[in-house]
Structure 1
């Protein structure tokens, strides 16, 4: 392939975004066969399939996902160029792509990201969520500028990356008013046989919680385990069980989920890391995050 046909790429991007050729054709005011033919030409130029069929729907192949990510960035830059021309300004916002490990509570991620949104210069922030190893791989090939995690990169990791400790927090336990009034007394012994919602297995906080339970001789009744901490909090709000979250966002949890604090412990400590592939940070958004959050 000597050159890229951006018309074909644009049609592909729109089909992938809309989920079907029919919806893309309607937006483009083109016939269904016209778009189908141009998609076939794009696939031929790549010598790779971009879509698979799943019933009536088109599903991106693994290669299709890769092309879509590049197309997203290409057309995003194109939109920024149009905005710059309309404003008669040669500058465009600095793009800042950050990966957030999926087990990190959304309210913590929001707190960590706040400094980047408060910069005087324009910054276009893109947040991506995923598993630690997946995001680390994206960071290694510079598809991310930074990633937030609850665990540092291991010294034995194949990716050379640097850990920047942003802060740490003890853990608070929350429940509905009814549960809180019952289990607040004699905490943490009150957690024995108490209905408990826990983060997913193999997460750093889950391991630390289990160690704390063992040390304190506690045997709570586990009624649910969650990869998504926001979903765990919703079930806690509904009275299914007691759940935990970092003490640093205690007020926000109580306000958002209408729950009360059952108790607190500093024996279980969550740490938050910014991980970068550069030792000396240069990106203005990364600098703002690391400097502002250093006192968490």
Structure 2
């Protein structure tokens, strides 16, 4: 690949048009367009499309821009390091994608061990749905994906699922909720889990990995929940719970942290309701030191007691 052509394309996208980029690069618009056409022929994909008087990257162009951003950012950092006389090695990059239903507190505790290694990596933490993150993993845009479900077979991606561990699910309530419903923490705990029927409940959205497990558990125990709200974002669910709008479920392994942060009390933690977390990688045997630190610490520290 001619990286000068890649730089021309990168500049056009950043400038928002061929004319502005040609002024920045001191080239004629015709010459610039011709060089980008050569790049498109080399890659076998159109990279730009006209939108009014401007141009925007195609889907393939957006992917190329992600690589180009990193290539030219690295080049600039190299120049800056040489001009500044710095000899310290650049921190390695570790890209870990998180399925958006993984609780943020779990995400932090899973990632934190990677920062203990020397040299500590620079982290990039994209978040999204599992199919999109798996596409990024297949294209090596991320090194690892953390998920609350195993890799489905219907995605057609060859990867390996590593169990990090599991945590029981506890239910929490704010004091103001109990006062509003004329009950006490002792009474709710004494009648748990049947006491859940008497209080409004905040739950993850129906398409989350945890929700079917909670629904099945409620049915097994003959509990008809009074569902007040459902959330895609479990952090938002906990914020509503802190304000006394309902009881909510969360990983029992983080019970003390959740109670402190959201000013709530644990009302019960059934033994037959468990959530599991997985690391998905292209490698069967993990070799990346940052990824190894994440998986080993999750098993030996975060989920060890559970």
TM-score over 0.5 for the alignment?
Answer: yes
Change (3 A) 1:259 1:159: same
Write the distance in 1 (CA, Å) between the matches of 2:120 and 2:79. Answer: 16
Aligned to 1:149: 147
For the pair 1:285 / 2:290, whether they are aligned, the reply is yes
CA contact (8 A) 2:48 2:55 kept: no
Moved more, 134-143 or 251-260: 251-260
Aligned to 1:110: 108
For the pair 1:66 / 2:66, whether they are aligned, the reply is no
Aligned to 2:89: 91
Aligned to 1:263: 268
Write the distance in 1 (CA, Å) between the matches of 2:88 and 2:285. Answer: 28
* Greater Rg over alpha carbons, structure: 2
Matches within 5 A, 1:29-48: 44=37, 46=40, 48=46
Tell me the SS of whatever aligns to 1:164: strand
**232, 249, 252: which one aligns with 1:247:** 252
CA contact (8 A) 1:205 1:268 kept: no
Q: How many residues align?
A: 284
Aligned to 2:99: 101
CA contact (8 A) 2:169 2:251 kept: yes
How far has the Cα of 1:251 moved from its partner?
Answer: 2.1
Write the distance in 1 (CA, Å) between the matches of 2:61 and 2:128. Answer: 19
Write the distance in 2 (CA, Å) between the matches of 1:187 and 1:71. Answer: 56
Write the distance in 2 (CA, Å) between the matches of 1:87 and 1:105. Answer: 43
Aligned to 1:196: 201
How far has the Cα of 1:72 moved from its partner?
Answer: 2.7
How far has the Cα of 1:239 moved from its partner?
Answer: 2.4
Aligned to 1:81: 78
Change (3 A) 1:61 1:236: farther
Write the distance in 1 (CA, Å) between the matches of 2:122 and 2:275. Answer: 29
Write the distance in 1 (CA, Å) between the matches of 2:59 and 2:75. Answer: 25
Instruction: After superposition, give the CA deviation of every residue in 1:187-224 in whole Å (9 maximum; x if it has no partner).
Output: 21111152111111132210100000000111111122
Change (3 A) 1:35 1:114: farther
Moved more, 80-89 or 197-206: 80-89
CA contact (8 A) 1:174 1:180 kept: no
CA contact (8 A) 1:180 1:262 kept: no
Change (3 A) 1:42 1:121: same
How far has the Cα of 1:50 moved from its partner?
Answer: 4.0
Write the distance in 1 (CA, Å) between the matches of 2:7 and 2:106. Answer: 41
Aligned to 1:8: 8
**235, 239, 243: which one aligns with 2:240:** 235
What TM-score, normalized to structure 1? 0.82
Write the distance in 2 (CA, Å) between the matches of 1:60 and 1:222. Answer: 44
Change (3 A) 1:7 1:64: closer
Instruction: After superposition, give the CA deviation of every residue in 1:204-255 in whole Å (9 maximum; x if it has no partner).
Output: 2101000000001111111221111112222222222221110112222222
Write the distance in 2 (CA, Å) between the matches of 1:36 and 1:228. Answer: 46
Tell me the SS of whatever aligns to 2:245: coil
Unaligned runs of 5+ in 1: none
